[in-house]
Structures are given as C-alpha cells and as structure tokens.
C-alpha cells in the first residue's frame, strides 16, 4: 500500500472516514487518526536498526496520513530482548461535546479485539468510556494509549461478579469468542455468558441504560438455511465441543429479551459474523490470523477439511459502524452484522497468500520459497456454510459493509508484520 494508493470501498470510492451521522448520533472519525492508534509498531527500535525503522515510519505515515504525533516512543532493544516503556506525550484529539450530547458508556470486554476498536471510536467521538475486562483474552496494550485520559477508565473486573456504575449505554462484549479460548474452560464460558449478561442487564435496569449484547452467528449452529436471516432458529448441537459458546449466547439472548419484555429494559442484539482486523490475537486459532501469521513466517498454510466450507468475513471498522448504528437506532429485534461476500476457505487461503506476497514484494522482502497450502482433518461440529442475510441491517440501520476483504487483509498483514518485527509474535 504505497503513499499514492488510496483506500477504496466496494464501490470504488475513497474511504477517508469511518462511521456516519445517523439516529441523532455522530460516529464519524477520520480514518488516518483511527489508524494512528493501531496500525503501528509499539516500540521504536534501537539505533542499530535505525534505517529499517525509518522505512517502517515512512510506510506508517503514508497509512495514517501523517498523524503520528500520538504515538508511544517506547524503545525496543532486540540485542537484549528488553523494552523501555514510556507514556504518551499527547493523547489523540477527541471531540469536545456539550454535556447534553456526551454519553457515559460502559464497554465490557473493552480490552479485547472488537472492544478496543469500539473504545477508540467512542473516545475520539468525545464520550466518557469505562472499560471492564478480566484480561483472559484481552490485553491492556490494546487500550493503553487512553490510560490517563480524563474521559477514560480501565477496570480489571470479571462480569461474572456484579458491578455498580452510572452509565447511559452498555456495550456487553465480554466473552471469549475463539474456539481454543472458549473451550479452555467450558463451564466458565457458559457462566460468563449467563451470569455476566444477568449482571449487566441488572445494571441496565437500575440505571435505565440502553443495553447492547454482542451475540454471534454461532446461534445458528451448522445452518440448514443459507444465507441465515434473523428469524431462522438455528441447528445447534447442545452437547458438542462448541456448545458452551453457542448455547451460552443463545441463553444470553433469551435473558436479554426476558429483561426487555418483563422490565422494559431497552435492548439491542447484534449477531456478529466472522470479523477480522488489527489487534486480533494471532494465537486464537481463527482462520484469518492463522493464515496470515503462517504465510508471513514462510510456513505452509493449514486448511482444515477439503477447503470447500465457506465463510464470510467483515472488517472490524464495518462492524463498529454497525454496532454504533444499532445501539442508537430504534431496532430492538436481533440484527445480523456481517459481510455477504462469501469465500471458500481454500479460496481465502490463496487470497491471503497473494496479499502477503504483494506486501513482501513492496517492502523488498524475498521469501526463500513459496508458501504451500496443506489440508488436515476438519474439527467436530465445524459449520459447512456461514453467511449472513443482512437485509434487516440495511433496511433498519441503513448499514452495509464498505471495506473489501482485500483492503482489510492488507492492513492486517502490515499490522502483523510490524508485530513480528518488534518481537510481539
């Protein structure tokens, strides 16, 4: 992605901002400022690598449109494998909102992959944000650039335990979402889905806050209807290895509508389909991160099954647009948020390989050999098809994905490449 190359959406229009003004809520921020918060190396390398660092900085500046004032200047020494951290010299600029427009927002799981991108957006928009996270899969580094800001608070807390705070909106994202993480302790996953949702709904009832739960396409299980509309009830194995997550999210939705119907709590249910982007844990076993890390390391890419099973992938900025639109809309029914562009896993592996090779060529890196794609047995209960019917999101929210899979993947490849250069992966 050279400095001349523009970020174009699906219709060929340049993307200069993400978000929009809708339902009386402004969620629009410049893409360059947003990228400056995540698309970067975390550390400044030592003088021995100054030339490499200079090239990285040039590439980074072209992507963030010159917004690099708000970067950490921590120093990484590869010789001794040590890091000297520093605080930010200046926070990214946030909107100055009048008290009547400023929301007090609670984000559970706000240090996770999706949560941290939501926090960035809400902070840049000028709202007061409190993050709850127990750091089981989340990391402080994803939101560390806001620590100390007067509008931001980070609390280590497990949502299985009650939490008291005053707030206007609750984004309830807390729950491990990748199979290795949610299967690590299946009982804890179910407990988080049920008890965590119960506690946050209780808080929403007490404070009269609007409550949004991040549900999942997993509520449809291995679907027999394709694509999946919101009124499809699903095809789920209640005792399989994925059941702790699938059924946990299904009962969380039941609980959410119980509070809505019985106690009048304002609720929003987002059924999120496969999402990818920077800050995605490279070791979480998901197909996108697996493929990119394997290809960057020069390892063969592993496809489970024969590669004919399909997935649809949406970029994280599109998801955040959808979540904010849903929260501030009047739509109380479940809403699918996902990208309808469907790939077989085999095709997707080839696309990732092509983009990694393109980025390596642009950066003057010549791999020793071409990465191959290898096939292994498919895991139990792995869905064969997964694609959202997003008609409701389009009609009710005026939302549809803007980012092409290719553009999103290139950003993500550069993010992982920077992490590998600094020793974070």
Task: Tell me which residues are annotated as active site.
Answer: 245
Q: Other CB atoms closer than 10 Å to residue 124's CB: what's the count?
A: 21
Q: What does residue 109 show for φ and ψ, rounded to 5 degrees?
A: 70, 25
Beta strands in 19-127 (DSSP E): 21-22, 25-26, 29-30, 43-45, 74-77, 82-84, 104-108
229-234: list long-range contacts, CB under 8 Å, 24+ apart: 229/336, 229/389, 229/391, 229/392, 230/271, 230/333, 230/334, 230/335, 230/336, 230/389, 230/392
Q: CA-to-CA distance for 273 and 312, rounded, in angstroms?
A: 7
Tokens of 384: 């064969």
Coil, helix or strand at residue 268: strand
Of 195, 248, 193, 256, give the one whose Cα is nearest residue 219: 248
Sequential DSSP letters for 143-201: TGGGTT-TTEEEEE--TTS------SEEEE--S--SHHHHHHTHHHHHHIIIIIHHHHH
Q: What does residue 114 show for φ and ψ, rounded to 5 degrees?
A: -70, -45
Residue 78 contacts by C-beta under 8 Å, 6 or more apart in sequence?
A: 45, 46, 48, 49, 423
Tokens of 368: 């020793």
Strand partners, 343: 311
Of 108, 39, 38, 115, give the one whose Cα is nearest residue 272: 115
Of 89, 311, 139, 87, give the one whose Cα is nearest residue 217: 311
Give the pairing of strands 310-312 and 25-26.
unpaired
Q: Other CB atoms closer than 10 Å to residue 130's CB: what's the count?
A: 22
């Amino acid at each position: 992605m050279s400095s001349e190359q523009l970020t174009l959406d699906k219709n060929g229009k340049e993307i200069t901002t993400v978000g929009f003004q809708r339902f009386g809520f402004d969620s629009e921020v410049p893409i360059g400022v947003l990228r400056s918060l995540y698309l970067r190396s975390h550390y400044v390398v030592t003088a021995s690598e100054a030339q490499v660092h200079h090239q990285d900085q040039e590439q980074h500046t072209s992507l963030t449109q010159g917004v690099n004032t708000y970067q950490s200047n921590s120093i990484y020494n590869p010789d001794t494998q040590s890091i000297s951290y520093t605080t930010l010299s200046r926070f990214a600029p946030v909107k100055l909102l009048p008290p009547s427009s400023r929301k007090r927002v609670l984000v559970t799981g706000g240090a996770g992959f999706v949560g941290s991108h939501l926090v960035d957006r809400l902070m840049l928009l000028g709202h007061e944000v409190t993050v709850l996270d127990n750091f089981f899969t989340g990391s402080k580094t994803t939101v560390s650039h806001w620590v100390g800001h007067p509008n931001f608070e980070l609390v280590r807390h497990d949502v299985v335990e009650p939490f008291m705070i005053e707030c206007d909106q609750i984004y309830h994202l807390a729950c491990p979402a990748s199979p290795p993480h949610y299967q690590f302790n299946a009982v804890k996953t179910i407990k988080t889905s049920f008890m965590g949702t119960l506690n946050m709904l209780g808080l929403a009832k007490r404070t009269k806050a609007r409550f949004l739960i991040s549900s999942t396409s997993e509520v449809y299980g291995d679907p027999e209807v394709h694509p999946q509309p919101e009124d499809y009830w699903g095809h789920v194995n209640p005792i399989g290895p994925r059941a702790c997550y699938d059924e946990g999210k299904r009962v969380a939705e039941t609980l959410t509508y119980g509070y809505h119907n019985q106690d009048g709590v304002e609720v929003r249910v987002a059924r999120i389909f496969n999402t990818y982007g920077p800050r995605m844990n490279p070791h979480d076993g998901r197909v996108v991160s697996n493929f990119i890390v394997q290809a960057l390391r020069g390892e063969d890419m592993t496809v489970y099954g024969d590669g004919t099973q399909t997935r649809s992938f949406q970029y994280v900025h599109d998801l955040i647009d959808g979540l904010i639109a849903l929260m501030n809309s009047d739509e109380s029914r479940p809403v699918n948020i996902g990208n309808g562009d469907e790939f077989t896993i085999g095709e997707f592996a080839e696309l990732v390989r092509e983009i990694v090779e393109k980025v390596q060529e642009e950066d003057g890196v010549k791999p020793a050999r071409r990465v191959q794609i290898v096939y292994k047995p498919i895991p139990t209960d792995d869905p064969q098809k997964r694609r959202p019917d997003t008609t409701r999101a389009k009609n009710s929210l005026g939302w549809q994905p803007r980012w092409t899979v290719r553009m999103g993947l290139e950003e993500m490849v550069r993010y992982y490449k920077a992490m590998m250069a600094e020793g974070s992966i």
